[in-house]
Amino acid sequence: MSTATFTAKDGKGIQITEPAMKQLAALMGQQGAGKVLRVGVRSGGCSGMSYTMDFVDACAIQGDDERYTYEPSGAPSFQVVCDPKSLLYIYGMQLDFSSALIGGGFNFTNPNASQTCGCGSSFAV
């Protein structure tokens, strides 16, 4: 079964599935005004690199960060930011969300990864 995916308003950025858009919109509403979603990577995890995702204050956006605006239907638009180094590793990635009891949560599908771990939170290139 194919799920619709959304890209940023400019057609670029991370692909986000409809379930993930709904979850992010709900979480964004709980965060209050002035927040953005920062997505990136850091060294570590079972496969060498791990994904990071956190809500941060909009004033924490760096000058060289890439900014993408997403517009979920029936919810306010929100911004996703990513630093240029991380973007090299996650450009074209798909973010999905599952509410399953086992294996649920946000899931990353990264076309740039040569190897991923069983937990789905780390990868190698």
Residue 124: which pLDDT band, with cuts at 50, 70 and 90? Answer: low
The answer to whether position 124 is within a domain reads no
Question: Residue 89: which of 35, 118, 53, 50 has the closest Cα?
Answer: 50
Neighbours of 79 (CB within 10 A): 18
The answer to the question of residue 125 being in a domain is no
CATH code, 78: 2.60.300.12
Taking only the tens place, the pLDDT of each residue in 6-22 is: 676 666 678 999 899 98
Beta strands 94-98 and 105-109 are antiparallel
Query: What does 41-53 look like in DSSP terms, one character per residue?
Result: EEE-STTSEEEEE
Asked if residue 75 belongs to a domain, the reply is yes
Q: How far apart are CA 32 and CA 57, in angstroms?
A: 10
Tell me how many domains the chain contains: 1
CA dist 20 and 4 (Å) reads 11
Model pLDDT for residues 93-102, shown as the tens digit of each residue: 899 998 888 7
Asked whether residue 67 is assigned to any structural domain, the reply reads yes
Per DSSP bridges, beta strands 78-82 and 5-6 are unpaired
Domain hosting residue 58, numbered range: 5-118
Model pTM? 0.81
Domain-embedded: residue 123? no
Q: Tell whether 17 is covered by a domain.
A: yes
